Structure 1
Amino acid sequence: MSIDNNSSFTLKTILEKEKLNGTNLLEWHCNLRLVLKMAKKLHVLDGPVPLEPENNTLAARKVLEKHNDDSTEVACIMLATMSSELAKGLEYLGSYDMLEQLKGMFQKQAHQERFDNMKQLISLKWNRDPLYDRADSPPSPDVRSSSPGAQ
């Protein structure tokens, strides 16, 4: 993000606070998208950088050059906000290709995390005391103990 865009620099601290370490891809990716959206560079994650402009006009070449520059800048930010072990194998990739590589590496892990979390939530719901209608409400009175013939 450029120096003239102080708000995106402020947002970049979100990424620097918690670097990608292999266990937090979902949070890191969400934060990355937030920072890039603010910096108006989110488009570089939509697809690979084209090799040549669509038509060979000066305007088309400038658009392609800007896309290349944005992709390089985002790739550097991505590398700077991940652990050095992860960055070593990704340093020669562009931003889109780098993100696709990371997704491939950690997609199975992210699915397993979501599955484990859902399983735990369901287990908590099924193991709840049946006397409680809600977790924070008091138990309902036992109808048998209050009837006259129950003693």
Structure 2
Amino acid sequence: MEKSLSLISILDANKLTSPNFIDWFRNVKIVLKQEKKAYVLDGLVPEEPSDAATNEDKEAYRVYMDDLDQATCVMLASMALDLQKQHKAMNVLDIILNFREMFNKKSHTERFDISKELF
């Protein structure tokens, strides 16, 4: 029997807390790439197919949504509990946008405070 290589343990050891967002996100991308689900981070969400769509289009959409859900679960499972609670109703794309907004504001504020002290 062939063993399956799983890098998810990387995320167990490096859970997201606010100061380690960049390192955490890099690890999430590595895990999702290994799991063949990193494409969901591209942000190209397909439109839901109409009732008249082909079975292939419906299946492609279903597979994408399943991969999006799995990627979201990987992210949520690798966060500190307080961050999980804040983001449990979001998908992977909304989570990343929210974190970038949160942590970029924080880094801008920190840079401003450091500059203020220097001058």
- TM-score grouping bracket, smaller chain normalisation: 0.7 to 0.9
Residue aligning to 2:32 = 36
Q: What number of residue pairs does the alignment pair up?
A: 110
Larger Rg: 1
TM-score (norm 2): 0.80
TM-score (norm 1): 0.64
User: Percent of aligned pairs with the same residue?
Assistant: 34
Q: Residue 15 and residue 35 in structure 1: after superposition, are their counterparts in 2 closer, same or farther (change >3 A)?
A: same
> Residues of 2 paired with 1:31 and 1:111: CA distance?
24
> Residues of 2 paired with 1:26 and 1:35: CA distance?
14
SS at match of 1:52: coil
Query: Runs of 5+ in structure 2 lacking a partner?
Result: 112-119
Shift of 1:50: 3.0
Greater share of helix: 2
Query: Runs of 5+ in structure 1 lacking a partner?
Result: 116-151
Q: Residue 112 and residue 35 in structure 1: after superposition, are their counterparts in 2 closer, same or farther (change >3 A)?
A: farther
Report if the CA contact (8 A) 1:15-1:32 is conserved.
yes
Q: Residue 5 and residue 17 in structure 1: after superposition, are their counterparts in 2 closer, same or farther (change >3 A)?
A: same
SS at match of 2:33: helix
> Residues of 2 paired with 1:92 and 1:64: CA distance?
20
Q: 1:89 aligns with which of 80, 86, 90?
A: 86
Larger relative contact order (Cα-Cα within 8 Å, sequence gap ≥ 6): 2
Residue aligning to 2:64 = 67
